[in-house]
Amino acid sequence: MNLSGKTVMITGCGSGIGRHLTQTFYQKGANIVVTDIDESKLDFTSNWDKNRFLAYKLDVTSKNQWKDVIGKVRKKWKHIDILVNNAGIADAEFFVDIKDENHLDKPIDVNLKGTVYGVYYTLPLLKEGSVIINISSLAGVAPIPGISLYSASKFGVRGFTLAIAPELEKHGIFVYNVSPDAVLTPLLEKVKRYSASNMIFSGAILQCQDIEKAIIKLLNKPRRREILLPWWRGFLAKFGNCFPYLASSLIPLLTKKGDKKRKQFQ
């Protein structure tokens, strides 16, 4: 896919999925708006063509920073063709063990509100044919004990995405949800130390390339609402969400499986 001349904005580009997608879209010829809360992590763009990218610090929870960045994008490229709301955080901690009340806000603020802000503040720069891709999680399809707040935030992202999709499609803007299983990124490296993350490791461990392929597939086949990765885990997640009590009975088995797999990553 040649994206020459297209403008792509991605949040959370400093590492993991965001960084991989940023490099992929740049290689495919797109103009890139590269953002991250830690601007120092954007140094991988140092050898890029200065005319083809903008790099900015962006805390996705800050309305003012969104306004500032979008204003600069408008000045340079006038519009955005593809928006990828990718920035997110994850912690593995059982809810009953949370002592710091600040932990209650951050997943919702970054993962959910950050996505909502992203769509809201870029809307004026989106045009007919533009695409919004929100990165959710299979933890937003079926609830995952041990990461309850992350799961709640991703349920919100998925619900928001699927709700606005038919609204924006009337204006020629296509909105997609991508819900992957665990992905081998610094976020996964961070949580693997904690037993509360066992359920995360009970399924597939994806690579950033898997997310890239899913997104390219969505761009080539419009009008599809979402992709769950891998499909079989997505099917099980949807099935389990229909029968929550039955799904809960499988938690001890999945936790044991995940614990064994998690320790292999240490």
- Catalytic residue numbers read 150
The token pair at 27 is: 């290689």
C-alpha distance from residue 160 to each of 37, 115, 124, 134 (Å): 23, 9, 19, 10
The token pair at 63 is: 């309305």
**Position 136: which residue type?**
S
- Please identify which residue in the block is written with the tokens 């994806």: 206
**Within 143-207, where are the H helices?**
148-169, 186-191
Strands (DSSP E) along 218-264, which ranges? 226-229
CB 125 within 8 A of CB 80: yes
What is the rounded CA–CA span in Å between residue 181 and residue 112? 18
The token pair at 200 is: 């995360």
